[in-house]
Structures are given as structure tokens and as C-alpha cells.
A and B are shown apart, each in its own frame.
Chain A
Amino acid sequence: MADNEKIYHNLKSKTIGLKSAVELLEKCPPEKKDKVIRLMREAAQDIIMLLTELEAKPKS
């Protein structure tokens, strides 16, 4: 998979993951909520890194 293609795939995967997690969060038992929020934060940080990577790519 080409570099750019990989970034877009990972972006898609992480954002979909976040969306699904938001839906889950609403009905999540309190003891699980913290864990889901932590994982969501990590996914959000990954998204920021991927976007930074994308910005750094030469614009064609």
C-alpha cells in the first residue's frame, strides 16, 4: 500500500472507530466509560499525527 494511501486508510479507520465509540459511550456502564474515553483520546492523538503527516506531504 502506498504511503499516502496508508495515511488515508488509517485516518478513515481511526475516525470511524471514534464515531462508533461515541455511540457506544452513551450506553456504556460507568466502570467502562473511563477506559473507552482513554482509548478515544489515543485514537484522537493518532488522528492528529496522521493529519500532521498529511500536511507535511508535498502538495501536488
Chain B
Amino acid sequence: MGKLNILVVEDDALAREVMSENLAGHAVEFAGDKATAERKLKAGHYDICFMDLLLGENDDYSGLKLIPLAVSRNIYSVVMSSCDTEETIGRAYALGCKEFYVKGNEDHNIAAIIARYLRGDGGKEAQEVFSEVFITNDPETRSLVSEALKYAAMELPLMLLGPSGTGKTTLAQLLHGHSGRDGDFVSINCAAYTEDLLESELFGYKRGSFTGAHENRKGKLAQADKGTLFLDEIGAMSQNMQVKLLKAIEEKAFYPLGADKPEYSDFRVISATLEDVQKLLAEGKLRFDFFQRVHGMTIALKPLAQRKCDIFPLMQAFTKGKKRLAFEPEAREHLLAHNWPGNTRELKRFVELIAAGTQGSVTLDTVQRHITPCVAPEQTGAAAVTQEQYDYAVKHGLAAAADRFTAGIINRNLSENHGKKAATLTQLKISKCLLYSVLAKLKTTERK
């Protein structure tokens, strides 16, 4: 982080001392009254100005009068006052201040303010983000990522949605990079482990806690201390695991396998899933209480098919420092017409294939050879089954569960068609025999 030039306008000596300590590492100057502040603002070159509003005894919000001057000098103006009436806050923002804070909690607030200043919404750093880290020219995606970055320095958990290959992990890493957290970015794909393995991966274990546990092992939660824990594909996590993890997220404490004392870790959670969260909740695959702990802000990334303006910039990025590619006009058209169901992952693989196997400009023929028109399979895998349906099948057998499911569908369809059996027979494509046998069973059940 570069050294910033900062002016602190503050009349209270103790508050100046607090600011001085929290801004250590930057070039900081102080002004204790309005006149000194004006003089310094006119003569100096500051990046940020922190200003108190009431400067001295019998002062009438002279700090407010400094805001337009600081803004005209292109200085990022931050009010830090203990006077936080709605009217004062409104006036400060109307005059052009960027942030308004109530005094107290400086060690946390100042770090967040500086991180936001350095990120410079829409500024140079934002341009670098979109051309080098999260490559996108799509205005909607840019605005979404910029919005997400505003929350990067907060404790708030974030949930990233989007099909596979849309950049969820890249975005999670970017958010960690802008979080100001000193610890590591620790990632785990919840779908890659069985329940037992996931537990030991997340919580770690003590020597001798199970056969093969020859030594203590730190879990992902401990590794992410003061950093970020990225939980990918949370929809694959069992209910049991969700309960254990939500407790750890809430208390920032957990028991490694075989441990009799809790361990503590200050991690921030970013989660991701390619599945429909509402569906996961409705089907009972995702516990509502767990969901509430992990979805502070939701960011849904668009598939590449909906942001085709990113295809060529992404290709440029994939070939940076390697063999560059040039496409004939027909080849370009074909690339833009393709839907890229595998998103950036498919695009990257395509670029690697083309770069390795072609010489000169890439022709339509070559492109067609390496792109197979296909539709992405339903990424949720097998047909969705609710937890309740699953439990019923386990208890009563698959045949009974299937009968119950069939009866439920027929009953609902009949009701939606106001009891018209002909409509149900047509819509559900079933035989009269099946319909009447289900109705007979339903009647019997009603009588009981």
C-alpha cells in the first residue's frame, strides 16, 4: 500500500493522538482550527482529509464549511464527528463529503476508509481490476463487481452465484485482496468431499482422533484465521455439516476432531454455488439458518453467453505473454455465435487448443473443429428430490414413495383443472387406468 498524504482537522488533542496512531505509515498533518485547515488545504496536496465538524468552543459547525474547499481540491473528504444528527449528515453529504463516521472504533473504520479510497470506485484501480484481475467489459458485471468491492472490507458474509466457470473463485480472491485482512485466502470445494472428510478438512483433527490420524492437522477454518474462507458449492454440504459450520461461523470457535478444547479463528466467509439457492432452500437441501449466516450480500454472475463482449478480452488475457491469436472475420462471428456453456473454463481450454495447434490467422474451419455445439447439462445433476421425499422413500420403500409422488402430482393437476379428468389425462400423458386407480386410493385414504 502506498503512503498517502492525509490532513486531519481536529481540535481535540486526544482525538488527534488517536488518529495519529491509526494513520501510522502515512504522511499525516494536523490542523486544530478552521483557519489552519483552510491554509493547509489551499497550500498542500492531500489525498484524504478527515475532518471534525465542531472546531473549538462556541463553534458553529465550521468543519462543514471546509468540505467544499477540500472537494474543490479533489481531496477525498471524510467527516468524523460525534455530532451525527440526520440534518448534519445530510448537509455534509450535500456539500460533497464522501463518508461520514461517528467517532469511536477508529482502528477498524480508518482501515476500511483507506481501503475504499485506494480502490477508488470508477478510478484507475477499478480499471486495473477489470482489465487484469476480473476481466470484463460488460457494464452490468462491472457495476456488480464494483458494488461487491464496496463490501470487501466488511465482515459481512458474501454469497456468489452463477454457473460453473463464470468467475466465482476469481471474484472471491479479488474480494479477499481488497478486504484488508492479513490472513490467507483459503478455499474448499464442499462437493469434493464426503461428509466425514469435509469435517476433518474444515475443522482439522488431533493426533489419534481416528485411525490414520498420526499427527495434528490444522483445518481450513484455522488456516483462514484473519483471512477469508471460501466455501465453494455449499449446496453439496450435508445438513449435519451445515449445523456444525453455522455454529463455528457464529461463534468463531470450533472443535477439531478429537479435541476437548475449542479453537478460535477470525475468518470471513464467502460462499458460492451454481445451484438455484431458493430451490435449495425449498427442497430443504440448504438450511435456512445456515443460509442466513452466509448470505449477507448476494452477487449473481452472468454466464459468458450473456456477456459476449468479454470473449475477446478474455482470450487476450489467456494468451498474455504467450502466442497471440488473430481470428479471420468468419471465425470471430462463429465465436460470438457460440453459447459457451462451460463459460470461461471452456473458453480457456479452447484458447489453449488453438494456440497449440495453429499457425497464422485462425480460420472458421479451425474454430468449428474445436467448438462442438452443445447444451450444458442441468448442473444440479439428478432430478431434484426434497429431503422429506427422500426420508419417506427410505422409510417406506421406493415403490411407496413413487406412488405417493404420482398421487400428489395427479391430485394437484386435477385441482388446477377444476376436477376435469380429460385435461389431467392430456397434460400428464397418463392412462385412464392409472388415473382411476390413484383416485380410488385417494378416496380410500380420505375415508380412513
Stretch from B10-18, B185-193, B282-290 at the A interface: B10-18
Q: Closest CB of chain A to B259's CB: distance in Å?
A: 30
Q: How far is the CA of A43 from the CA of B105 in the complex (A)?
A: 18
Asked if B106 contacts A20 (CB within 8 A), the reply is yes
Q: How far is the CA of A28 from the CA of B14 in the complex (A)?
A: 13
**Of the candidates A9, A17, A28, which one forms a contact with B15 in the assembled complex, judged by CB atoms under 8 Å apart?**
A17
Q: How far is the CA of A24 from the CA of B83 in the complex (A)?
A: 22
Asked if A43 contacts B14 (CB within 8 A), the reply is yes
Q: How far is the CA of A18 from the CA of B60 in the complex (A)?
A: 24
Q: Closest CB of chain B to A22's CB: distance in Å?
A: 10
Q: How far is the CA of A2 from the CA of B83 in the complex (A)?
A: 13
Complex contacts, A1 vs chain B, CB 8 Å:
54, 60
Sorting the interface of chain A by its residue count into under 10, 10 to 19, 20 to 34 or 35 or more gives 20 to 34
Say if the beta carbon of B82 comes within 8 Å of chain A: yes
Complex contacts, B102 vs chain A, CB 8 Å:
16
Asked if A39 contacts B17 (CB within 8 A), the reply is yes
Residue of A with least CB distance to B52: A13
**Of the candidates A17, A23, A43, which one forms a contact with B103 in the assembled complex, judged by CB atoms under 8 Å apart?**
A17
Question: Which residues of A in the span 3-60 have a Cβ within 8 Å of any Cβ on B?
Answer: 9, 12-14, 16-21, 23-24, 28, 32, 35-36, 39-40, 42-43
Complex contacts, A35 vs chain B, CB 8 Å:
17
Are A13 and B82 also in contact (CB < 8 A) when A1-B60, A19-B104, A20-B104 are? yes
Q: Closest CB of chain A to B116's CB: distance in Å?
A: 20
Say if the beta carbon of B21 comes within 8 Å of chain A: yes
Q: Closest CB of chain A to B201's CB: distance in Å?
A: 35
Q: How far is the CA of A20 from the CA of B18 in the complex (A)?
A: 7
Say if the beta carbon of B182 comes within 8 Å of chain A: no
Say if the beta carbon of B125 comes within 8 Å of chain A: no
Q: Closest CB of chain B to A23's CB: distance in Å?
A: 6
Say if the beta carbon of B107 comes within 8 Å of chain A: yes
Complex contacts, A17 vs chain B, CB 8 Å:
12, 14-15, 18, 103
Complex contacts, A18 vs chain B, CB 8 Å:
14
Q: How far is the CA of A42 from the CA of B12 in the complex (A)?
A: 11
Asked if A9 contacts B83 (CB within 8 A), the reply is yes
Q: How far is the CA of A45 from the CA of B72 in the complex (A)?
A: 39
Sorting the interface of chain B by its residue count into under 10, 10 to 19, 20 to 34 or 35 or more gives 10 to 19
**Of the candidates A9, A23, A42, which one forms a contact with B82 in the assembled complex, judged by CB atoms under 8 Å apart?**
A9
Asked if B13 contacts A16 (CB within 8 A), the reply is no
Contact digits for B1-36, partner A, Cβ 8 Å, 1 yes 0 no: 000000000001111011001100000000000000
Asked if B60 contacts A42 (CB within 8 A), the reply is no
Asked if A13 contacts B21 (CB within 8 A), the reply is no
Asked if A12 contacts B82 (CB within 8 A), the reply is yes
Asked if B12 contacts A23 (CB within 8 A), the reply is no
Q: Closest CB of chain B to A7's CB: distance in Å?
A: 12
| Residue from A1, A13, A19, A40 having most chain B Cβ neighbours under 10 A | A13
Q: How far is the CA of A23 from the CA of B106 in the complex (A)?
A: 10
Residue of B with least CB distance to A36: B17
Q: Closest CB of chain A to B159's CB: distance in Å?
A: 32
Complex contacts, A39 vs chain B, CB 8 Å:
13-14, 17
Residue of A with least CB distance to B81: A13
Q: Closest CB of chain A to B103's CB: distance in Å?
A: 5
Residue of A with least CB distance to B59: A1
Asked if B13 contacts A42 (CB within 8 A), the reply is yes
Complex contacts, B13 vs chain A, CB 8 Å:
39, 42
**Of the candidates B12, B105, B107, which one forms a contact with A13 in the assembled complex, judged by CB atoms under 8 Å apart?**
B12
Asked if A20 contacts B82 (CB within 8 A), the reply is no
Asked if A24 contacts B21 (CB within 8 A), the reply is yes
Complex contacts, B104 vs chain A, CB 8 Å:
16, 19-20
Q: Closest CB of chain B to A21's CB: distance in Å?
A: 6
Q: Closest CB of chain B to A6's CB: distance in Å?
A: 8
Inter-chain pairs besides A13-B54, A16-B82, A39-B13, 7 sampled, C-beta below 8 Å:
A9-B82, A9-B83, A13-B103, A16-B102, A24-B17, A39-B14, A40-B14
Q: List 29 A-B contacts (CB under 8 A).
A: A1-B54, A1-B60, A9-B82, A9-B83, A13-B12, A13-B15, A13-B82, A14-B12, A16-B104, A17-B15, A18-B14, A19-B104, A20-B15, A20-B18, A20-B103, A20-B104, A21-B17, A24-B17, A24-B18, A24-B22, A24-B107, A28-B21, A32-B21, A35-B17, A36-B14, A36-B17, A39-B13, A40-B14, A43-B14
> Which A residues are within 8 Å of any B CB, using their own CB?
1, 9, 12-14, 16-21, 23-24, 28, 32, 35-36, 39-40, 42-43
